[in-house]
Amino acid sequence: MSAALIQQLVDGLAALMLLTSFALLAQHRMLSVLNWFAAQGVLLAVTAAVVAYGTDNNELYISAVMTFLLKGLLLPWLLWRVIRELHVHREVEPLMNTTLTMLVALGVTLFAFHIIQPIEKISQLMTRDSMAIATACVLLGMLMMITRRKAITQVVGFLAVENSLFFAAIGSTNGMPLVVEIGIAFDVLIAALIFGLFFFQIRDTFDSLEVDAMNAHLIHGDDEE
Amino acid sequence: MSSAFVQMLQAVLLLLLAPLATGFVATCKARLQNRRGADVMQPWRNLRKLFGKEVVMAAHASWIFRTAPYVVFTATVMAASVGPALLVDTPLSLTADVIALVALLALARFFLALAGMDIGTAFGGMGASREMTFAALAEPAMLMSIFVLSLGAHSTNLTTMINHTLNSPFALHPSLAFAMVAMLMIAVAENGRIPIDNPGTHLELTMIHEAMILEYSGRHLALMEWAAMVKLMLFATLIADLFMPWGMTTDASLVGVAVAFALWIAKLAGLLLALAVIETSLAKLRLFEVPEYLSGAFVIAFLGLLSYYMLEVGA
């Protein structure tokens, strides 16, 4: 494959990455959120493999396989188990309606594009175009954490931010050293496990996974007693 | 052959093949649903029957109600006939501007809505209000998705845009993929197809397009239905023009036109078959979910625009 084709492929994958970030924001049902999250993980693994092929970087192959196993299969499966056990299938209502969220998301994407433009000009890498998209995806993940009420969707937002950071790492430096990546992967795995335990604890304590319920309990809990 | 003749030919073909296209979708749908269904000529038979019937009009119908079918039909046919289908560079190609095309369709829609309200029945007004609500969301999304292509071609003229696509070397364009998905979503919505509106419905409460033409009969109804069929054909041709123009001829030679015709029919058949599959596999959306669907299309088109700037301008 020629270098130009690989660059176009990376660009296409970056565009799909942006699409998955938007799709995550637009979903109402927990299951489709998880499906899109898994798709994002697989996409990330494919991107890593393509960049590995383009730059002859063998370590990236290993992290591609790791990404696929961890973010494409294991994390979605863990979260799926949690929502099955807790019977939360619908995000009842996000704080803003979907259309407004989408408009804000478009604005956020424009902003990311605007601030990355000067950096893009000085980069020589074949993946430089994807940096703006990686930044946009980080901000979109944060937006997801802000606009959702349920603890699980907020965690998915957090994991999406981590995905985009990994994508940014592939894009801006052709991947971090393997040791660092393995470390981060295990951190994310442990975090997901701890989140999973937390969900059960939160549900037991507050009878709900809505973050508002927790707030109300923590702030007004003492007055009611 | 002169290019003026080819222009005439493709306009006439669009007009004559439009009922066949609608019939093709209906037949495919029937087969997919394990029904025998009518053959592809059925819409033609319906039109012939309607043209032979007497026009029945409500007592307080005004001149708007009487002229609307002619305006709707003429505007739609004009929009359909200026667009390139076989030959890229036609004598009327300067008119084939996308914004003018959308404006002609908007004119047709305006009169359709007026006619729906003119007669004063509840369903007509309801259909008109729904149609306008959705049009207000669909039109910007459609223009936005076309602008993605215009950015590359530096023009909103269809001929220039097609020439640009034909002459540029093969490359993966994520922005075009976004634009095409958005355009397909809009085409389904604009033609009143199943996730949005059911063309075969007899339940007034869920109607959009049908609600506006409930009061029409005879040749007026025939013109309205024919205009809807031409519109479906126009959208299919437009999508083929914009996103897969390969095979369109640049000179008016007999062989070139014949090849372009065969490929055009193949592309249309592919798109219409896809439409039949979509209509069979999806359920109709609740009415209040339609704005979400359309704003989704707008967001996808806008993503196309953004990814054009992010990924393709600097590269």
Query: In whole angstroms, what is the distance from residue A186 CA to residue A156 CA?
Result: 17
Q: Which of A166-170, B133-137, B204-208 has the highest mean pLDDT?
A: B133-137
In A61-89, which positions are buried (b, 16+ CB within 10 angstroms) versus exposed (e)? ebbbebbbebbbebbbeebbebbeebebe
Most A CBs within 10 A among B144, B298, B309, B311, hence the mutation to make, goes to B311
Q: How many Å apart are CA B223 and CA A193, to the nearest integer?
A: 64
Are A109 and A140 in contact, with CB atoms under 8 Å apart?
yes
How much is the mean pLDDT over chain B? 90
Q: Which chain B residues are closer than 8 Å to A18 by Cβ?
A: 303, 306-307
**What's the total number of domains in chain B?**
1
Q: How many CB atoms lie within 10 A of CB B284?
A: 16
User: C-alpha distances in angstroms, A140 versus A11, A40, A116, A143, B79?
Assistant: 19, 13, 15, 5, 40
Question: What whole-number distance in Å separates Cα of residue A33 and Cα of residue A42?
Answer: 14
Determine contact, residues B217/B56, Cβ cutoff 8 Å: yes
Which pair of tokens denotes residue B71?
A: 């305006």
Instruction: Check whether A92 has a pLDDT greater than 60.
Output: no
Measured distance CA(A139)–CA(B190) in Å, rounded = 34
Q: Provide the domain count of chain A.
A: 1
Asked if B291 and A18 come within 8 Å (Cβ–Cβ), the reply is no
Q: Report d(CA B303, CA B175) in Å as an integer.
A: 7
Q: What is the tens place of the pLDDT at every residue in B135-177?
A: 999 999 999 999 998 988 888 898 889 888 888 877 778 889 9
pLDDT of residue A155: 86
Task: Measure the CA–CA gap between B215 and B121, rounded to whole angstroms.
Answer: 9
- Please give the residue range of the domain that contains residue A128: 3-224
Maximum Cα–Cα distance across chain B: 65
Give the whole-number percent of chain A exceeding pLDDT 70.
89
A33 pLDDT exceeds 80?
A: yes
CA distance B295 to B124: 25
- Write out the residues of chain A at the interface with chain B, using a CB-CB cutoff of 8 A: 4-5, 7-9, 11-12, 14-16, 18-19, 22, 26, 98-99, 102, 105-106, 109-110, 113, 120, 128-130, 132-133
Nearest Cα residue to B192 out of B256, B112, B89:
B112
Measured distance CA(B79)–CA(B93) in Å, rounded: 12
Is the pLDDT assigned to residue B223 strictly greater than 90? yes
User: What is the reported pLDDT for A225?
Assistant: 42
Measure the CA–CA gap between B211 and B125, rounded to whole angstroms.
8
- Is the predicted pLDDT of residue A39 greater than 90, yes or no? yes
- From residue A151, give the alpha-carbon distance in Å to each of A97, A155, A203, B298: 18, 6, 10, 29
From chain B, pick out residues whose CB is under 8 angstroms from the CB of A8: 171-172, 315
Q: What percent of chain A has pLDDT over 90?
A: 20
| Mean pLDDT across chain A | 82
- Confirm if A159 and A194 have CB atoms less than 8 A apart: no
Rounded Cα gap, residues B272 and B17, in angstroms: 13
Whether residues A15 and B292 touch (CB distance < 8 A) is answered with no
The pLDDT score that the predictor gives to residue A217 is: 67
Interchain proximity A113–B292, CB inside 8 Å = no
CA A75 vs. chain centroid, Å, equals 11
CA nearest B174 in A: which residue?
A12
Q: What domain range includes position B51?
A: 3-313
Size of interface A-B (CB pairs under 8 A): 67
Write the ipTM: 0.80
The structure tokens listed for A40 are 């994002």
